[in-house]
Structure 1
Amino acid sequence: MLKSKYIIPVLALLMQVLIFGFREPAKLHTISTGNAQELKDFFKYTPDRLPFVSAHRGGPRKGFPENCIATFENTLSHCPATLEIDPRFTKDGKIVLMHDATLDRTTNGTGKVADHTLAELRKLRLKDTEGNLTRFTIPTLDEALEWAKGKTILVIDAKDVPVEVRAGKVVEHKAEGNAIIIAYSIDDIKKCYQVSKDIVMEVMASKPQQIAELDKCGVPWENLIGFVSHDLPEDKTVFSEIHQRGSMCILGSSRNIDRQFMAGKITAAELEAGYLNLVRHGADIIEADLGIESGAALSALQQGASSKAKYFRK
């Protein structure tokens, strides 16, 4: 009979096999923040910070679907990255990872996610970015939060899951050290802070007026990361204003240079130059559809001595 001390490790292994299938463990580039205070320190702006990538929807590409744990591992096998994910409710109140409200684009199923139970969704398979069916299945938010521990930081978007529910999941899994919440309004920022003062949030901060509102909201800046824009803002002082408050800045590339490259409008060299230009203007984190390409572009900037180096491991 299997001794009780071996039961949990064996069950964990069986769960990984069910999700991923049998395969060699990947050597991952990790961002390791073990607790809430380390997470806050990691995201605190310092002049010696090491720019890095937030892989949009986990970094999908050919063979690897969006919002899929196998895709997360593939991204981290190439570069250190935080991973942006999308939660949605099932018919029976569970939370799965799925960007769209419907299943048609990213799975071999049809209809609304919210019209299916978790058991029904488990029978479906995910499609990659080219529409090819893969062997991977839809993960739950619970599974993603447990998987991420010691590996990376999840960036949990909203979709149809209220901020207090997402924050509650982070607390439930004791994941304050490896997950942050995207909050789109001052009310949501306050609600999240009420659930836990340890949770870090990505907040909208593209204009001086928004920064002033954040100053007055009652939530300390150590709990906030500023999402500046999907394009370079007209008023570039927002970068220095956010940095002066001790927080990092995020810029998105998914709606500009990533799209241009995927449409064949710019070369790989121009794509790399585009990522570096975002950093030059003040970005500390680039939210990219092309997580691996953006990670490669930033790799040279991650080699210097830094107080943040202790969090990046392989």
Structure 2
Amino acid sequence: MIKSFKKRIILLVMLSPFAVFAQKQEINILKFKNVNELKAFFKHGENNFPIISGHRGGMTKGFPENSMETFANTLKYMPSFFEIDPRLTKDSVAVLMHDATLERTTNGKGKLSDYTYAEIQKLRLKDPEGNLTDAKIPTLKEAILWSKGKTVMNLDKKDVPLEMTARILKECNNEAVMLTVHNAKQARFYLDQNPNWMLSVHIKTKKAYDEYVKANIPWESIIAYIGPEYTPENKELMKLLQDKGVMVMISSAPTYDKLPTAAERAKAYIDIFKGGADILESDLPVEVAEAIKNEVPKKTPQHKYLGKAKI
């Protein structure tokens, strides 16, 4: 009788979702020993590995955006880096949240800035379909520390002051990060704080390109976002930038990710890379990886920075 009871207990523990969660899973990682290797990975060349950026981590059923749970899930399928969205709580804690309000992504209501960090820890995140999950809102510092040795976080600019972002990065002691900037002035501020930091810069026009040249922003320190689709102007920009060794990024989040069928989306993703883009940022990074899997070169300069790990 006692043995039978023990067997039932062991079975219940094995079937527990916490036991399943505790099992280590293998993920794809980007491994950099130093910031020079990070910059080498993001250097344009003629035979590059097509790089995928998960917009807010990705939009997958069961996994909320801007969460470590989603980052880990996406990395199960391919190496990737992630665009994330830091915002401030009422008591000035930088957390990950795209919207200024809570309703779409959490079971909370109102503005994030009306809640303290302690208060938002009582909330839970929703997945893209609005289903409540067990995931909590992470801090920016937690995300950066989690990413070390696994991936690269690209910090978008919301309401966190540049000075605060710079301070947090220094506290985390992780130079394998990227900072989104919308103009040359912001780029210069960050590089004056730390010349090693990588930047994801918005260069959608020749005028913007010229501003970065005038500000003496080093080409080896940037990737360039040129827009959500190809235009005659940004194709010219792409050549200018790639001739400098700069990788260019197209974001399909507001455009091609919205196409009605998986087949249409897959064709668009393939065409983006065939058109010359080095990086594709997408809400659907797992779909992108599946679409382009037969287009990935077997050997590229980036391959030596790809690896596997268990978390």
Same fold (TM over 0.5): yes
Counterpart position of 1:306: 300
Instruction: Please show how residues 1-314 of structure 1 align to structure 2 within 5 Å.
Output: 22-177=21-176, 179-235=177-233, 236-260=235-259, 265=260, 267-314=261-308
1:179-233 Cα shifts (integer Å, max 9, x gaps): 1000011111111111110101001112222222211212211111110101112
CA offsets 1:108-129 (integer angstroms, 9 cap, x no match): 1111111111111111100111
166-175 or 77-86, which deviates more: 166-175
Worse-matched range after superposition: 159-168 or 67-76: 159-168
User: Percentage identity across aligned positions?
Assistant: 39
- Report how many residues are paired: 290
Q: For residues 82 and 196 of structure 1, do their structure 2 counterparts lie closer, same or farther at Cα, with a shift above 3 Å needed? A: same
Q: What code does the residue aligned with 1:162 have?
A: P
Listed as ranges, the gaps of 5+ residues in structure 2 are: 1-17
Q: Distance in 2 between matches of 1:158 and 1:50?
A: 27
Aligned-partner SS, 1:78: coil
- Secondary structure of 2:241's counterpart equals helix
Provide the C-alpha distance between the structure 2 equivalents of 1:217 and 1:76, rounded to a whole number of angstroms: 36
Matched letter for residue 301 of structure 1: E
Tell me how far 1:256 sits from its aligned partner. Answer: 1.2
SS at match of 2:178: strand
Find the residue that maps to 1:300 and give its secondary structure: helix
**Partners in 2 of 1:223 and 1:21 — Cα distance?**
41
Alpha-carbon distance between aligned partners in 1 of 2:70 and 2:133, rounded to the nearest angstrom: 11
Matches of 2:19 and 2:144, distance apart in 1: 16
Q: TM-score, normalised by structure 2?
A: 0.89
Aligned position for 2:10? none
Amino acid at match of 1:156: L
Shift of 1:20: 12
After superposition, the CA RMSD in angstroms is 1.7
* Structure 2: distance between partners of 1:294 and 1:49: 16
Amino acid at match of 2:265: L
C-alpha distance after superposition, 1:66-99 (max 9, x if no partner): 1010011000011111111000111111111000
- Taking a change above 3 Å as real, the CA distance of residues 142 and 35 of structure 1, as seen in their structure-2 partners, is same
